[in-house]
Structure 1
Amino acid sequence: MSDRIHFIGVGGSGMSAVARLIAARGYAVSGTNLTQTAYFDALRDAGMDVQLGHDAALVDGAAAVVISTAVRETNVELARARELGIPVWHRSEALVRALEGQRLIAVAGSHGKTTTSAMVAHALHASGVDAGFAVGARVFGIEGAVAGGYAGTSGISVLEADESDGSFLRYHPEVAILLNIEPDHLDFHGTVENLHRAFADFAAQSRTVVACVDDAVVRGLVEDARARGARVVTYGSAGSGADAEVGPDGIAYEGRTVPLAVSAPGHHNRLNATAAWLAALEVGADPEAAAASFSSFAGTGRRYQLRGEAAGVRVIDDYAHHPTEVAALLTAARDAGVGRMVVLFQPALFTRTRDHAASFGRALSVADAAVVLAPVHGDREDPIPGVSSESIAAHAVMPDGSTLTLAADLEDAARLAADAARPGDTVFTVGSGTVTLAADQILARLAERDV
């Protein structure tokens, strides 16, 4: 029997990480992707058999086929697997197989999962623990990492636990982190109550829960988790009454203050680092080494990632795709002193745009900024009549001196953003879709101006 596992859509951030970990278990890996991405290139450079374009014949002889929620039943490779009776695994099922026997730290929440997962891995490595990880972005600074996946040798692995399709309920980790919970992915969960129940079940399946009590919903789940047998360690801002409180000087925990310096800007990242520190301690990391590690945290791909500078303008790329994330990003940037901002935002998913148009409009109504709205990136969804970037623009109230412009397409948005930028400005490309491609286009246009 074949030991080859075939991935459909292997060039995505999450799928590429799982492919790397499956390969580390000794399986042969093949995969296809419609477009050439950085993750696709990383897997190809690592010697994996990945190809552009879908071809049903590539499925023949595979032991299993791995898909994500984004792969539709009409995909020719998936249809061929169904026809042949080849087992089809969801990405999360493949990840469970790849991490079988490992002590797991799983990071869940509406925002901050990728950064916090990477922080946990970074803290463990700084403590001499060669932890594996599966993170939905490239993790900078850890040698040997390919895309967002790294096998490790310690028997401990960190994973980003995705609530969007309920797949995080498969993991049963030793340590679970609950960062925050907001209404999102209701296309899958149906109601906010169902979403909250899924998070409660995830927490109850964990031995220890590290929970942020700054978040009201998480705070409400703490007692439920305890009642269902989990040990709970809480964290939050100074004065929150949490077990670990994050203040300007460090983390107050168990009667002492541990110094905390975090390279990533924003108070939300100090909270993320505290969650990562507590989780690392649960699996035996050195407290001082773990806390000191965050000052050298190099970040992850598409999380406040500096893509370059041209004509006196910096271009930063960020994955923020929920109103709370967009607001936190722009607040952190302002606090970091970036000066005037040009924000190119590409909404992702028609359902999210429909449900959060007003909140997006408020988040983007910032002072001293030029905002450019690209069309909605539908990804796995079909368009919804009456839902577009104009839905967001209708709710934006721009302060004096700030502007908002609607773009015809992503290329037009990149042109508008580049032309709006002046020396000393910072351009942000923001969203979870194809907007990351605009960063290079903006830099190229700025470079032409520089010449």
Structure 2
Amino acid sequence: MTVIAGNAFPDTHPEIERALSEGIPVIRSLHKFLGEYMDSFTNVAITGAHGKKTSTTGLLAHVMQAAKPTSYLIGDGSGMGKENSEYFVFEACEYRRHFLSYHPDYAIMTNIDFDHPDYFSDIDDVFDAFQNMALQVKKAIIACGDDEHLPKIQAKVPVVYYGFNEENDFQARNVVKNTEGTTFDVFVRNTFYDTFYIPAYGNHNVLNSLAVIALCHYESIDVELIKGALTTFGGVKRRFNEKSSR
């Protein structure tokens, strides 16, 4: 057993006092705990100013579960731990550089923007945080090549770019929207890969899906499993949820 306590709880708190008296480890940082815990899995950090919950953490966990047991932790408060999980997918927030507690196998980087002005001084400060994070990734980075800043990232591992532009390793083409959702073709380094359907709208959701497709391709997950799982993703809390239909 391990007790994880926030900064609001002093050592004199009854439950912490009890844990300490019985020799139970007390960790003061969730980020530190996750950084140690995730090493038991092939782990994927999802980070970016926008799109972390949907893209990725929620969508990637949903898709990867179709292939292999996957545990996940999403910033909307939801999560699931599965026995014998091979993968651990989690949202890695840049605020106060919390994500520097992690050394993930993979990182999906959706974008860089000037967010959290109470902590970051300017966009260069934000970029510096992401650059430091990139240097801690152990296998590969999946990054949006359409972003203004991400193509400047330097890393010790391969950086695989996705987006709408032809320069990207994974490119979405022939995007078609209808009343049921969106279909699009994926080309891998200008070679047709497959056609995908998502029950969602907006270019941002195409990009989110493309990031997931790229990561799954990198992990050799069967394309039919990817396609099937994408069609059944219902979204995450507080993100364009359908309440009713008529």
TM-score (norm 1): 0.47
2: CA distance, partners of 1:155 / 1:245: 28
Matches within 5 A, 1:339-358: none
DSSP 3-state at the match of 1:290: helix
Distance 2:83 2:145 in 1: 32
Please tell me whether residue 242 in structure 1 is matched to residue 173 in structure 2: no
Q: Distance in 2 between matches of 1:99 and 1:160?
A: 12
User: Which residue identity does 1:58 align to in structure 2?
Assistant: E
Candidates 62, 66, 89, aligned match of 1:122: 62
State the match for 1:276 in structure 2. Answer: 212
Question: 2:68 is matched by which residue type in structure 1?
Answer: V
| Identity in percent | 25
Maintained 8 Å contact 2:104/2:136: yes
Q: CA deviation at 1:117?
A: 1.1
Counterpart residue identity of residue 165, structure 1: R
The equivalent residue for 1:91 is 30
Q: TM-score, normalised by structure 2?
A: 0.83
- Residue 371 of structure 1 is matched in structure 2 by none
* DSSP 3-state at the match of 1:250: strand
Q: CA deviation at 1:59?
A: 2.5
**Structure 2 letter corresponding to 1:120:** L
Tell me the distance in 2 between the aligned counterparts of 1:177 and 1:278. Answer: 10
Unaligned runs of 5+ in 2: 176-183
2:234 maps to which of 280, 298, 302: 298
Q: Residue 5 of structure 1 aligns to which amino acid in structure 2? A: V
Alpha-carbon contact 2:49-2:113 (below 8 Å) kept:
yes
> Structure 1: which 4+ aligned runs deviate by more than 3 Å?
6-9
Correspondent of 1:132 among 68, 71, 79: 71
Query: Residue 94 of structure 1: CA displacement?
Result: 1.8
Structure 2 counterpart SS, 1:299: coil
Task: State the Cα RMSD in Å.
Answer: 2.6
Q: Which amino acid is the alignment partner of residue 90 of structure 1? A: S
> Taking CA–CA contacts closer than 8 Å with sequence separation of 6 or more, which of the two structures ends up with the larger relative contact order?
2
* Structure 1 contact 186–192 (Cα < 8 Å) conserved: no
Question: Which residue matches 2:135?
Answer: 204
CA distance in 2, matches of 1:63, 1:192: 42
The one of 102, 115, 124 equivalent to 2:41 is 102
Deviations 1:138-162 (A, max 9, x none): 6xxxxxxxx3232352321111111
C-alpha deviation, 1:6, in angstroms: 4.4
Partners of 1:246 and 1:209 in 2: how far apart? 18
Tell me if 1:185 matches 2:116: yes
Structure 1 position 253 matched with structure 2 position 160: no
Structure with max Cα Rg? 1
SS in 1 for 2:40: coil
Per the alignment, residue 220 of structure 1 pairs with 152
Are the equivalent residues in 1 in contact too, given 2:68–2:86 (CA < 8 A)? no
C-alpha distance in structure 2 between counterparts of 1:275 and 1:152, whole Å: 26
Aligned residues: 229
| CA deviation string 1:10-47 (max 9, x = no partner) | xxxxxxxxxxxxxxxxxxxxx9xxxxxxxxxxxxxxxx
Counterpart Cα distance in 2 of 1:63 and 1:103: 32
Matches within 5 A, 1:319-398: none
* 1:39-95 superposed Cα distances (whole Å, 9 cap, x missing partner): xxxxxxxxxxxxxxxx9323222259xxxxxxxxxxxxxxxxxxxxx8542221121
Distance 1:308 1:110 in 2: 30
* 1:232 match: 159
**Contact kept in structure 1, 2:163 and 2:171, CA below 8 Å:** yes
CA distance in 2, matches of 1:274, 1:152: 28
Match of 2:141, SS? strand
Distance 1:153 1:198 in 2: 33
The one-letter amino acid of 1:263's match is P
The alpha-carbon distance between structure 1 residues 201 and 62, as it changes in their structure 2 partners (threshold 3 A), is: same
Deviation at 1:267, TM superposition (A): 1.1
- Inter-partner Cα distance in structure 2 for 1:63 and 1:281: 46
Give the number of the structure whose residues are more often helix, by fraction: 1
Matching residue within 104, 120, 125 for 1:194: 125
